[in-house]
């Protein structure tokens, strides 16, 4: 019949004694990456106000705060979270609008200043957007027509536009892969998605001339011709490439980086620090751990027969992978500078907490076995 029934318990497995099915490989991989984060954030922040001990301690605290959110999510069934998707969506839209009424930081309206750390609502918007799309897509088939793609794209475009206006180009860019992948997994037709990609490319060119700020335009131009802008917009990216190349196989050692003047070296450009101080071996190990975590996440999606759970799992893995690809590509000069953090690695409370929320959703889905009758796929 092409139907699968999952989540049943045998008489020898009473519900109250059943242990959650947690993907240990996923947790170990992320845990090791978080440990590397604390080590290299401490090293990268030596020349910053407060010193390495201050930033390293804060980063460890952010990891601890992320674990609190992770643990809290395990106490709530993901289907319960899903039922409140419309309210959560409106809440995050309100946060994204409200940030424009706050004092700008570094010329941008991206953060709420909570004194003990700066809260970035765009990081919370990512998991809520994934849950909202899963809520809309899970039992519909209208998205299999070109007209049916309008609603899910409008749902994604509203927060995307608000994030772009902050301005935060990197955060906005990370939304596109998520919606395309979730629609593909849900069963949207490839040629419809291809048309959307073409429209997106045209839209980006239009945005370049109409929406982007001058400094964002300069970043794109500097990426296209870095030598022409090596004393200006391309300086940061060229310095990052120098750091990555100079690390060699084994690196120069902790605290031995020569490019101490690289801006945002503990946040957006932390990969350059890992590569210079830890070398190709350490940087490769970190990416391998992230890759293993992503494969484990896809394994959770493959084992999940409940439609919404599978879509959420795919969305979480996609956001991880897209951010890693964009961040590392920027540091290596393969993409223009966007200001996007590296999940579980870059310094910052919002980024770390947002990453652990996504991980919490993944583990929640993997440990819950819904009793459902569903087709083997979404097509």
Q: How confident is the model at residue 242 (pLDDT cuts 50, 70, 90)?
A: confident
317 closest CA partner among 137, 190, 180, 178: 178
Return all residues near 160 (Cβ < 8 A) that are at least 6 apart: 172, 175
Q: How confident is the model at residue 236 (pLDDT cuts 50, 70, 90)?
A: confident
- Of 33-37, 105-109, 208-212, 294-298, where does mean pLDDT reach its minimum? 208-212
Whether the pLDDT of residue 149 is over 50: the answer is yes
Return all residues near 242 (Cβ < 8 A) that are at least 6 apart: 259
Q: Could you tell me the two tokens for 13?
A: 């497995």
Long-range contacts of 221-226 (CB under 8 A, 24+ apart): 222/336, 222/337, 223/333, 223/335, 223/336, 223/337, 226/333
| φ, ψ at 52 (rounded to 5°) | -65, -35
| Predicted pLDDT of residue 156 | 87
Angle formed at CA 299 by CA 327 and CA 15, multiple of 5 degrees: 125
Cα gap 157→162, rounded to integer Å = 8
| Predicted pLDDT of residue 191 | 82
Whether the pLDDT of residue 68 is over 90: the answer is yes
Q: What is the pLDDT of residues 5-22, one digit of tens each?
A: 344 334 344 444 344 566
Residues 127-151, mean pLDDT to the nearest whole number: 82
179 closest CA partner among 335, 319, 377, 357: 319
Q: How confident is the model at residue 229 (pLDDT cuts 50, 70, 90)?
A: low
| Predicted pLDDT of residue 197 | 81
Q: Could you tell me the two tokens for 92?
A: 């995050």
Q: For the chain, what is the mean pLDDT? A: 83
Start-to-end Cα distance in the chain: 15
Q: How confident is the model at residue 230 (pLDDT cuts 50, 70, 90)?
A: low
Q: How confident is the model at residue 364 (pLDDT cuts 50, 70, 90)?
A: very high
| Predicted pLDDT of residue 316 | 96
| Predicted pLDDT of residue 325 | 93
Q: How confident is the model at residue 338 (pLDDT cuts 50, 70, 90)?
A: confident
Placement of tokens 């590392």 in the chain: 328
Whether the pLDDT of residue 32 is over 70: the answer is yes
> What number of other Cβ atoms are within 10 A of residue 23's Cβ?
18
Q: How confident is the model at residue 175 (pLDDT cuts 50, 70, 90)?
A: confident
Cα gap 195→192, rounded to integer Å = 5
Whether the pLDDT of residue 118 is over 50: the answer is yes
Whether the pLDDT of residue 300 is over 70: the answer is yes
Name the most confidently modeled range: 10-19, 47-56, 140-149: 47-56
Q: In b/e form, how buried is each residue of 262-297, taking b as 16+ CB within 10 angstroms?
A: bebbbbbbbbbbbbbbbbeebbebbbebbebbbebb
Whether the pLDDT of residue 190 is over 90: the answer is no
Write the Ramachandran bin of 274: left for phi over 0, alpha for psi from -120 to 50, otherwise beta. Answer: alpha
Q: Could you tell me the two tokens for 271?
A: 């990969």
| Predicted pLDDT of residue 11 | 38
Residues 110-135, mean pLDDT to the nearest whole number: 88
| Predicted pLDDT of residue 203 | 72
**CB of 286 closer than 8 Å to CB of 274:** yes
Q: Could you tell me the two tokens for 99?
A: 């940030």
Return all residues near 147 (Cβ < 8 A) that are at least 6 apart: none
- Of 60-69, 99-108, 345-354, where does mean pLDDT reach its minimum? 99-108
Write the Ramachandran bin of 344: left for phi over 0, alpha for psi from -120 to 50, otherwise beta. Answer: left
Cα gap 78→211, rounded to integer Å = 37
Whether the pLDDT of residue 359 is over 80: the answer is yes
Angle formed at CA 180 by CA 174 and CA 186, multiple of 5 degrees: 135
User: Which of 374 and 273 is assigned the larger pLDDT?
Assistant: 273
Placement of tokens 């997994």 in the chain: 185
User: Which of 254 and 218 is assigned the larger pLDDT?
Assistant: 254
Q: Could you tell me the two tokens for 133?
A: 């799309």
3-state secondary structure of 373: strand
**CB of 304 closer than 8 Å to CB of 313:** yes
**CB of 117 closer than 8 Å to CB of 57:** no
CA dihedral of 262, 266, 269, 273, whole degrees rounded to 10: 80
């Amino acid at each position: 019949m092409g139907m699968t029934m999952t989540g049943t318990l045998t008489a020898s497995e009473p519900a109250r004694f059943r242990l959650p099915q947690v993907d240990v490989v996923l947790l170990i991989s992320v845990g090791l990456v978080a440990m590397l984060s604390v080590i290299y954030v401490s090293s990268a922040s030596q020349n910053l106000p407060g010193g390495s001990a201050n930033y390293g301690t804060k980063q460890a605290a952010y990891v601890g705060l992320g674990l609190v959110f992770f643990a809290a999510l395990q106490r709530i069934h993901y289907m319960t979270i899903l039922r409140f998707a419309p309210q959560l969506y409106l809440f995050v839209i309100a946060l994204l609008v409200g940030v424009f009424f706050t004092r700008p930081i570094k010329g941008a309206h991206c953060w709420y200043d909570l004194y003990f750390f700066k809260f970035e609502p765009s990081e919370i918007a990512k998991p809520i957007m994934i849950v909202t799309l899963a809520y809309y897509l899970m039992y519909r088939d209208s998205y299999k027509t070109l007209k049916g793609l309008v609603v899910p794209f409008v749902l994604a475009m509203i927060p995307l536009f608000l994030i772009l206006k902050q301005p935060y180009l990197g955060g906005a860019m990370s939304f596109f892969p998520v919606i395309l992948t979730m629609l593909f997994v849900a069963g949207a037709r490839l040629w419809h998605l291809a048309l959307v990609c073409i429209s997106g490319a045209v839209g980006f060119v239009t945005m370049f001339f109409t929406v982007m700020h001058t400094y964002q335009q300069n970043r794109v131009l500097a990426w296209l011709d870095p030598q022409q802008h090596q004393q200006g917009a391309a300086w940061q990216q060229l310095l990052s490439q120098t750091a990555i190349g100079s690390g060699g196989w084994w690196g120069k050692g902790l605290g031995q980086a020569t490019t101490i003047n690289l801006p945002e070296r503990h946040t957006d450009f932390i990969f350059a620090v890992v590569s210079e101080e830890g070398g190709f071996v350490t940087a490769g190990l970190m990416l391998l751990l992230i890759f293993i975590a992503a494969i484990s996440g896809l394994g959770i999606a493959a084992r999940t027969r409940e439609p919404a759970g599978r879509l959420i799992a795919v969305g979480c893995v996609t956001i991880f992978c897209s951010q890693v690809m964009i961040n590392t590509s920027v540091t290596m000069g393969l993409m223009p500078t966007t200001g996007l953090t590296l999940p579980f690695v870059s310094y910052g409370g919002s980024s770390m907490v947002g990453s652990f929320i996504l991980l919490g959703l993944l583990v929640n889905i993997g440990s819950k076995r819904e009793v459902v009758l569903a087709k083997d796929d979404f097509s």
